């Protein structure tokens, strides 16, 4: 290649580009000339577009931080110096520069995680992909360095302007600023977006900084003018100082950061690697907490992303790299059903308002916002505030619908409990991507919501199984004005409708199987499928029926509180198998068993769900198989339990199992 041979195309285990191929770790970057660094930045962008278009992943955020990540690794000494990425979806460049250049199985089992991963590299620290946490991590690491006497180590926290809308970030800044003995650099990666354009007072503040970079140039012009007129006297100096003071708050409101007691450097063009590197070197030499404000462009260098106003390239599936168009059109999904129905509800109910936490498009509220802009509120990455603000709206006569990913409701549990439920507020929480999501990894699986919400007094939770039940559940939820309601549904396309063959006291019965011989002596098995696992329950029920059992398959849409009709149905069977895509310990199945036991119903249970562990990234189908949640697994669990009963084995489940 050095003699003019053709540059190889990018392959999953062989990155394109002569410079990128030579980078095996951060130490290799320090030997590059400025010209080589610019070439490397271009090669990284080319590699990312080609690699991520094959596997799917977070494309836009990574294209925007190429020069910034290069500068960080050229200035600091990772892993001796700790680099913490907020959220972590912008860490692909970091992975490439720390020796991980095989992106062939990105976000697939056995391949690279879509977020930082300690299992992959000593350069990775924070795996949690929930936003606004990096500054607290950095504060803790910097404090530990001081206590341990490691005064030559630095901590770098990279946080986006979107993540700065989260209150936790400001709690951390309040603590970071109190001490001047910590070598901590906060890099604000300001691209004006999270998933969507950043909103709120912080966004306006950064926008002012972003658009007034002529401030220092203006002062330089003033100084040069005074110098050309001869030796400046005290009056001239006073005039310049007064001018500086007078315009500072108008055109350079960085005083907000400086008033916290932190040095502020910026704003810096984050795509000028040299300028970014100089700013970081100055921050490194300061020896105390510093904020470096860097301006970047999400999707930089990839035309489809640069010109996309809907931010479709924040995260992509498989796409054609030349056009950015999907390889296969997406099937109509759960989020689309919600998006359509909430608009219809909005037309019928002028008191219904929508709240999102910086995810207007991902949770399907963009059509509602377009139709009812004055009734749509984006609060930024602030789920706690969203829940309590919703309680206030309910008190004042509205019915708020708070749409978030299921995994992010974990952050607002106290507010759901103490602000919404305690005050009997009519607030509806819509949980997108509930259950097993798969390839986004441990912190994005929405498997804790049902077990967590079971303890909230008065809360009602629906787990619809198909499009009709989702639409009906949403309508029923917004009709409740004296308690919190929750509607949860999974990620991905909606399956075929699963109509009920009969309805018993609020519980839908989907199928009945009479047993191969039709005799009354066959064991009676009730299979309960919760939400998206209803289809699994139907398939498992068919298998059990083929084994000569009398089977009832049920799927209650409203699972909290446990329907009395379901407890009655339990009492009519010899064994109950519950199937859910949430944690099994304390989940819906456990709740049904508890209520049955309280009603003196002795029927034993087998609970199928997610075990007590964090799920590694893999396809949803693979995770389902590993958790033994396929129809075959569910049927086998029931047959094993019945075999244990027949043999008198102590392994046969007891009513409170």
C-alpha–C-alpha distance, residues 184 and 200, integer Å: 26
Per-residue burial over 381-396, b if 16 or more Cβ lie within 10 Å, else e, is bbbbbbbbbbbebbee
pLDDT at site 258:
67
Residue 89 assigned to a binding site: yes
C-alpha–C-alpha distance, residues 110 and 89, integer Å: 18
pLDDT at site 146:
92
Residue 625 assigned to a binding site: no
The share of the chain scoring above pLDDT 70, in percent, equals 82
pLDDT at 158 over 50: yes
C-alpha–C-alpha distance, residues 48 and 462, integer Å: 40
pLDDT at 494 over 70: yes
- 628 is an active site residue: no
CATH entry 3.20.19.10 includes domain 18-212+252-306: no
pLDDT at site 255:
56
Task: Report residue 515's pLDDT band, with 50, 70 and 90 as the boundaries.
Answer: low
C-alpha–C-alpha distance, residues 59 and 351, integer Å: 38
Residue 129 assigned to a binding site: yes
Question: Is the sign of the CA dihedral 420, 426, 430, 431 positive or negative?
Answer: positive
Residue 195 assigned to a binding site: no
**Angle formed at CA 309 by CA 95 and CA 405, multiple of 5 degrees:** 65
pLDDT at site 519:
45
Cβ atoms of 637 and 628 within 8 Å: the answer is yes
Please report where in the chains the tokens 């770098």 appear, as a residue: 156
Strand partners, 84: 157
Residue 383 assigned to a binding site: yes
Residue 617 assigned to a binding site: no
Average pLDDT over residues 583-592: 95
Query: Do the domains 502-647 and 18-212+252-306 match in fold?
Result: yes
Average pLDDT over residues 471-494: 96
Strands of the 605-610 sheet, one edge to the other: 502-504, 507-513, 550-554, 524-529, 575-583, 605-610
Average pLDDT over residues 528-545: 96
Average pLDDT over residues 161-183: 85
Beta strands in 257-408 (DSSP E): 263-269, 290-295, 352-356, 376-378, 399-405
pLDDT at 222 over 50: no
Task: Report residue 231's pLDDT band, with 50, 70 and 90 as the boundaries.
Answer: very low
pLDDT at site 3:
35
Distances (CA, A) of 147 to 140, 220, 429, 455, 583: 11, 42, 43, 40, 39
pLDDT at 559 over 90: yes
Task: Report residue 109's pLDDT band, with 50, 70 and 90 as the boundaries.
Answer: confident
- 74 is an active site residue: no
| CA neighbor of 93 nearest in space, from 50, 129, 63, 125 | 63
Fold of 334-488: Rossmann fold (3.40.50)
Single pTM value for the model: 0.81
Task: List pLDDT tens digits, range 179-191.
Answer: 778 899 999 998 8
- Phi, psi at residue 352, to the nearest 5°? -80, 125
552 or 117, higher pLDDT: 552
Question: Residue 81 carries which DSSP code?
Answer: S
pLDDT at 286 over 80: yes
Cβ atoms of 600 and 627 within 8 Å: the answer is no
- 95 is an active site residue: no
3-state SS assignment for residue 629: coil
Residue 162 assigned to a binding site: yes
**Beta-carbon contacts of residue 436 (< 8 Å; ≥ 6 apart):** 445, 447, 490, 581, 610, 615, 620, 623, 624, 627
pLDDT at site 651:
59
Average pLDDT, the chain: 84
Residue 70: both structure tokens together: 């290069």
Domain positions in the chain are: 18-212+252-306, 213-251, 334-488, 502-647
Find the catalytic residue in 383, 467, 511, 580.
383
Find the catalytic residue in 45, 182, 298, 300.
298
Task: Report residue 197's pLDDT band, with 50, 70 and 90 as the boundaries.
Answer: low
pLDDT at site 355:
97
The share of the chain scoring above pLDDT 90, in percent, equals 56
Residue 421 assigned to a binding site: no
114 or 141, higher pLDDT: 141
The enclosing H or E element of 85 equals strand 82-85
559 or 240, higher pLDDT: 559
Instruction: Find the helix packing angle between 34-55 and 273-286, rounded to 10°.
Output: 100
- Phi, psi at residue 606, to the nearest 5°? -125, 125
Please report where in the chains the tokens 């309040």 appear, as a residue: 174
CATH entry 3.40.350.10 includes domain 502-647: no
Find the catalytic residue in 108, 183, 411, 433.
411
């Amino acid at each position: 290649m050095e003699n003019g041979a053709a540059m190889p195309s990018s392959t999953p285990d062989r990155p394109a580009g002569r410079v990128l191929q030579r980078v095996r770790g951060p130490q290799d970057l320090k030997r590059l000339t400025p010209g080589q660094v610019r070439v490397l930045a271009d090669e990284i962008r080319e590699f990312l577009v080609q690699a991520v278009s094959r596997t799917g992943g977070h494309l836009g955020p990574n294209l925007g931080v190429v020069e910034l990540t290069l500068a960080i690794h050229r200035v600091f000494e990772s892993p001796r110096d700790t680099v913490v990425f907020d959220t972590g979806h912008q860490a692909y460049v970091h992975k490439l520069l720390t020796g991980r250049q095989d992106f062939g199985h990105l976000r697939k089992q056995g391949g690279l995680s879509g977020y930082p991963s300690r299992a992959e590299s000593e350069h990775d620290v924070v795996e949690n992909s929930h936003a606004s946490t990096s500054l607290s991590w950095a504060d803790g690491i910097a404090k530990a360095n001081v206590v341990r006497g490691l005064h030559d180590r630095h901590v770098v926290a990279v946080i986006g302007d979107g993540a700065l809308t989260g209150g936790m970030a400001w709690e951390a800044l309040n603590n970071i600023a109190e001490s001047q003995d910590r070598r901590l650099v906060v890099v604000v990666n300001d691209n004006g977006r999270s998933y969507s354009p950043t909103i709120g007072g912080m966004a306006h503040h950064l926008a002012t900084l972003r658009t007034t970079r002529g401030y220092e140039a203006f002062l330089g012009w003033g100084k040069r003018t005074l110098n050309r007129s001869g030796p400046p006297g005290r009056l001239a100096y006073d005039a310049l100082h007064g001018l500086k003071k007078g315009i500072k708050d108008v055109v350079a409101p960085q005083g907000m950061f400086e008033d916290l007691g932190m040095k502020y450097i910026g704003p810096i063009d984050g795509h000028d690697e040299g300028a970014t590197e100089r700013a970081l070197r100055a921050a490194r030499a300061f020896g105390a907490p510093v904020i470096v404000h860097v301006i970047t462009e999400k999707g930089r260098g990839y035309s489809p992303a640069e010109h996309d106003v809907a931010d479709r390239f924040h995260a992509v599936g498989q796409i054609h790299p030349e056009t950015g168009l999907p390889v296969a059109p997406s099937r109509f999904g759960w989020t689309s059903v919600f998006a359509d129905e909430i608009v219809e509800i909005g037309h019928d109910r002028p008191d219904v308002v929508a709240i999102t936490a910086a995810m207007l498009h991902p949770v399907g509220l963009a059509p509602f916002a377009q139709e009812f802009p004055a009734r749509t509120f984006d609060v930024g990455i602030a789920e706690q505030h969203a829940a309590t603000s919703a309680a206030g709206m309910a008190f004042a006569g509205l019915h708020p619908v708070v749409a978030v990913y299921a995994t992010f409701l974990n952050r607002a549990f106290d507010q759901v409990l103490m602000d919404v439920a305690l005050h009997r507020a009519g607030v509806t929480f819509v949980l997108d991507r509930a259950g097993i999501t798969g390839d986004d990894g441990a912190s994005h699986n929405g498997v804790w919501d049902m077990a967590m919400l079971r303890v909230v007094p008065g809360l009602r939770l629906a787990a619809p199984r198909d499009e009709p039940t989702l639409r009906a559940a949403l309508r029923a939820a917004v009709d409740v004005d004296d308690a919190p309601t929750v509607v949860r549904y999974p990620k991905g396309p909606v399956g075929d409708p699963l109509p009920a063959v009969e309805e018993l006291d609020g519980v839908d019965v989907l199928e009945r199987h009479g047993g191969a011989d039709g005799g009354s002596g066959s064991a009676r098995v009730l299979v309960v499928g919760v939400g998206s696992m209803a289809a699994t329950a139907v398939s498992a029920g068919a298998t059990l029926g083929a084994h000569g059992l009398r089977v009832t398959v049920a799927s209650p849409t409203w699972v909290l509180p446990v329907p009395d009709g379901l407890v009655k149905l339990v009492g009519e069977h010899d064994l109950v198998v519950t199937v859910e895509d949430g944690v099994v310990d304390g989940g819906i199945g456990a709740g049904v068993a508890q209520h049955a036991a309280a009603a003196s119903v002795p029927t034993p249970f087998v609970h199928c769900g997610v075990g007590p562990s964090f799920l590694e990234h893999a396809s949803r189908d693979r995770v389902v198989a590993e958790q033994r949640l396929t129809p075959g697994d569910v049927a086998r669990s029931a047959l094993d339990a019945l075999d244990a009963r027949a043999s008198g084995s102590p392994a046969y489940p007891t009513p409170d199992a």
